[in-house]
């Protein structure tokens, strides 16, 4: 009895705190959110394209060109995320989410009970406005869930995550692309949404945990999710979803607005200068139109939940045009369809990495989940294995939910390469597959030196005419090498090494000194007795710091970190002309650049050439994503696959060979970096590196 009493007391305290918290006026963070995200040029470009699509569709709607489409109910799959809630409250949270879905379906189709207030006593005050009803339907998705995100996200159950950190705390999560996402978390405002959401990229409407759903549903106080008056009828979500469907506020400002700014740019919602709070009578607030009251009961104003109850026809036209133009093509397929009895095989990852030099087998784990009471025995198999490899499953079959491990063995005798493997689960009435990639191309770091000519004997001259004396020398690296790390060795004789400035200019640099890296900048100071000083040091980011004035000596040697770091070059291509520049900033003595060298360390795939294909030609390489492949095949079938360095498939094509093979391949939207080209010619396979600039 004591525990029950304490729970009741804490529940009352929480409710009182919530009521006190929500005695504040309505707040919406849409405008601040858009100001922030539109600073990103990628987001801004994407937003502009979506608005162009929308304007075209809205014009079609206005000219009645899309009547057939508008007569079809658009079903919108919804997923709801509670990042900080407790799994023990799942039943309560699912009920609250469904309650909010019911509210949205009523509000957007004008079937909400309080629309009668508009129909019976208010509408005649607004002769140019009618209540709009959208031809859409919201559903909590129950099928085709994204795998591996929430252990409780089971086919047949609603798409509700608990404890999943949606978007790493942000408002976009590509794992949930294709859904209308609602994220319920603790906010400083009631809610916010992008103005025109992007379902293809996983945008979300974010609602405070005390404004989601209706108090008619059970509040989930154990998880801090409890709809609280005066925002306890689910209308905050309706308001923010209006923004997601490209609806603006009906007012020009929140206390600082003036007439003449255009309102929400929709003809049948009278322009009004400022937002309205509380619960005013329908004609208490004037609009910017003489004799016309403000449409305060509209969902896109700021009144309390109990006093907002309608969209206009123009607003619904905007919403439907946005949905049709930018959302509907990207809805997750079959997400709202009833789940058929069957099973799912899924994994958090679809790549298998293995290094045959250290292991002769690779393991891959996946889950088996029956749905809708499915209880048939399912047996597992795999195809697409590299020639000579073995495979076994543990267990080999399941009839209840469980984990399965696939072990690919005998890899010590298998040609290195990248193979597409299909795992198949077979039951008497259902077959499902899972595609994974075996990346059997291991990497190692290889360091190659590139040296200047020995005994260069290049004079470092004195300054002249007000300009520093300088000498340069070049090293050309002919092959394409992606830099993992780099060091430089420099050998210079000079009376006063503190007179010198030493720079390295990498390939492709166009401006000095902006594109150059300063290695040595008048270090040491006057520190040694007269006579030539030999500067013979290695510049390495991991080296020691230069000694201060008086800290150097004759024959100055060692490994030192450069004045500016070399790691800025990591990930770039070393191919091209490297230029060393040595300056002498003080007159009275000269010196000699004896020699210098570069050491480039790169991560190289092992086993990249098991066979030499007959007269293989691959050009250009590096390239811009388009390149030519040519060779004389030894079989009737040729397969070409391209993977990124993580083993993800970028391109796959199969050909019937007839004479010399020649084709031009294009990697769509390829980013700069290294890719692996895998050519399979009968039983032969060769993997080559491709560099995309």
Instruction: Tell me the catalytic residues.
Output: 240
Q: In the beta sheet, which residues pair with residue 663?
A: 629
Exposed/middle/buried for residue 617 (C-beta within 10 Å: 0-12, 13-18, 19+): exposed
* Neighbouring-strand partners of residue 690: 675
Distance separating alpha carbons of residues 233 and 212, to the nearest angstrom: 8
* CA-based nearest residue to 174, from 148, 154, 201: 201
Structure tokens, 546? 């230069």
| Measured distance CA(329)–CA(322) in Å, rounded | 11
The SS3 assignment for 526 reads coil
Contacts of 669 (CB under 8 A, 6+ apart): none
d(CA 188, CA 396): 52
Q: Which residues neighbour 317 within 8 Å (Cβ) at sequence distance 6 or greater?
A: 58, 61, 62, 132
- Whether 243 and 194 have beta carbons less than 8 Å apart is answered as yes
Cβ proximity of 267 and 244 under 8 Å: no
Q: Are 203 and 181 in contact (CB under 8 A)?
A: yes
**What's the burial of 374, exposed, middle or buried (CB within 10 Å: 0-12/13-18/19+)?**
buried
Strand bridging mode 469-477 / 390-394: unpaired
The number of helices, as runs of H, and strands, as runs of E, in the chain is: 8, 34
Separation of alpha carbons 605 and 182, rounded Å:
43
Quote the DSSP letter at residue 306: G
Check residue 130 and report its DSSP letter.
-
Residue 276 near residue 254 (C-beta atoms within 8 A):
no
Q: Residue 379: enclosing H or E segment and its boundaries? A: strand 378-383
**How far does the chain reach from its first CA to its final CA, in angstroms?**
72
Q: How far is CA 222 from the centre of its chain?
A: 32
A 10 A CB-CB count for 555 gives 11
Strand ordering across the sheet containing 390-394:
342-346, 362-371, 402-409, 390-394
- Judged on CB neighbours under 10 Å (0-12, 13-18, 19+), 678 is buried
Torsion, Cα 308 311 312 317, to 10 degrees, reads: 160
* Residue 439 contacts residue 643 (beta carbons within 8 Å): yes
HEC readout, 120-133: HHHHHHCCCCCECC
How far, CA to CA in Å, does 488 sit from each of 332, 446, 458, 510, 514? 53, 16, 18, 21, 19
DSSP class of residue 401 equals S
């Amino acid at each position: 009895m004591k525990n029950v009493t304490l729970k009741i007391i804490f529940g009352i305290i929480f409710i009182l705190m919530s009521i006190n918290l929500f005695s504040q006026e309505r707040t919406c963070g849409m405008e601040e959110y858009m100001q922030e995200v539109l600073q990103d040029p990628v987001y801004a470009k994407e937003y502009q394209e979506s608005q162009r699509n929308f304007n075209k569709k809205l014009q079609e709607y206005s000219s009645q060109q899309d009547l057939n489409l508008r007569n079809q109910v658009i079903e919108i799959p919804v997923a709801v995320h509670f990042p900080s809630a407790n799994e023990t409250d799942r039943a309560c949270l699912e009920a609250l989410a469904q309650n909010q879905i019911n509210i949205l379906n009523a509000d957007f189709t004008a079937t909400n009970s309080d629309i009668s207030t508009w129909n019976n006593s208010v509408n005649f005050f607004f002769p140019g406005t009618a209540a709009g009803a959208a031809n859409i339907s919201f559903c909590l998705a129950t099928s085709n869930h994204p795998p591996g995100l929430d252990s409780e996200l089971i086919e047949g159950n609603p798409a509700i995550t608990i404890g999943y950190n949606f978007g790493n705390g942000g408002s976009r999560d590509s794992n949930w692309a294709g859904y209308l996402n609602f994220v319920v978390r603790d906010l400083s405002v009631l809610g916010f949404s992008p103005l025109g959401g992007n379902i293809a990229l996983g945008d979300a409407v974010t609602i405070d945990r005390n404004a989601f759903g209706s108090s008619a549903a059970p509040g989930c106080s154990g998880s801090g999710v409890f709809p609280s008056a005066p925002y306890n009828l689910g209308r905050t979500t309706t308001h923010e979803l209006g923004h997601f469907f490209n609806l603006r506020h009906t007012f020009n400002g929140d206390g600082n607005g003036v007439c003449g700014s255009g309102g929400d740019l929709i003809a049948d919602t009278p322009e009004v200068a400022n937002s309205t709070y509380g619960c005013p009578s329908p004609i208490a607030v004037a609009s910017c139109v003489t004799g016309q009251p403000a449409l305060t009961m509209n969902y896109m104003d700021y009144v309390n939940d109990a006093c907002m109850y309608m969209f206009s026809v123009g607003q619904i036209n905007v919403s439907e045009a946005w949905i049709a133009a930018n959302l509907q093509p990207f809805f997750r397929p079959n997400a709202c369809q009833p789940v058929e009895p069957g099973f799912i095989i899924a994994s958090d990852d679809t790549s298998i990495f293995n290094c045959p030099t250290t292991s002769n087998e690779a393991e891959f784990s996946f889950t088996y989940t029956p749905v809708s009471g499915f209880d048939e025995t399912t047996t597992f198999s795999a195809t697409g294995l590299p020639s000579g490899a073995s495979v076994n499953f543990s267990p080999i079959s399941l009839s209840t939910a469980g984990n399965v491990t696939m072990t690919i063995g005998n890899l010590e005798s298998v040609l290195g390469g990248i193979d597409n493997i299909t795992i198949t689960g077979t039951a008497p009435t259902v077959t499902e597959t899972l595609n994974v990639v075996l990346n059997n191309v291991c990497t190692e770091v290889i360091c190659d030196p590139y040296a200047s000519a020995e005994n260069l004997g290049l004079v470092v001259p004195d300054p002249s005419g007000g300009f520093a004396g300088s000498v340069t020398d070049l090293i050309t690296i002919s092959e394409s090498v992606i830099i993992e790390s780099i060091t430089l060795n420099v050998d210079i004789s000079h009376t006063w090494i503190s007179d010198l400035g030493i720079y390295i200019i990498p390939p492709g640099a166009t401006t000095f000194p902006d594109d150059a890296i300063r290695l040595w900048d008048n270090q040491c100071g006057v520190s040694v007795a007269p006579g030539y000083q030999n500067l013979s040091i290695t510049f390495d980011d991991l080296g020691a710091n230069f000694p201060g004035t008086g800290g150097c000596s004759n024959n100055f040697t060692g490994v030192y970190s450069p004045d500016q770091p070399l790691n800025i070059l990591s990930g770039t291509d070393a191919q091209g002309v490297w230029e060393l520049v040595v300056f002498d900033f003080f007159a009275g003595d000269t010196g000699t650049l004896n020699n210098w060298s570069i050491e480039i360390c790169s991560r190289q795939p092992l086993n990249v050439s098991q066979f030499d294909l007959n007269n293989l030609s691959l050009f250009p390489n590096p390239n811009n994503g388009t390149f030519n492949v040519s060779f004389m095949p030894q079989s009737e079938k040729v397969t070409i696959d391209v993977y990124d360095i993580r083993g993800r498939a970028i391109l796959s094509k199969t050909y019937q060979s007839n004479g010399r093979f020649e084709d031009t391949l294009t990697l769509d939207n390829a980013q700069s970096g290294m890719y692996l080209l895998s050519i399979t010619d009968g039983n032969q396979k060769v993997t080559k590196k491709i560099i995309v600039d």
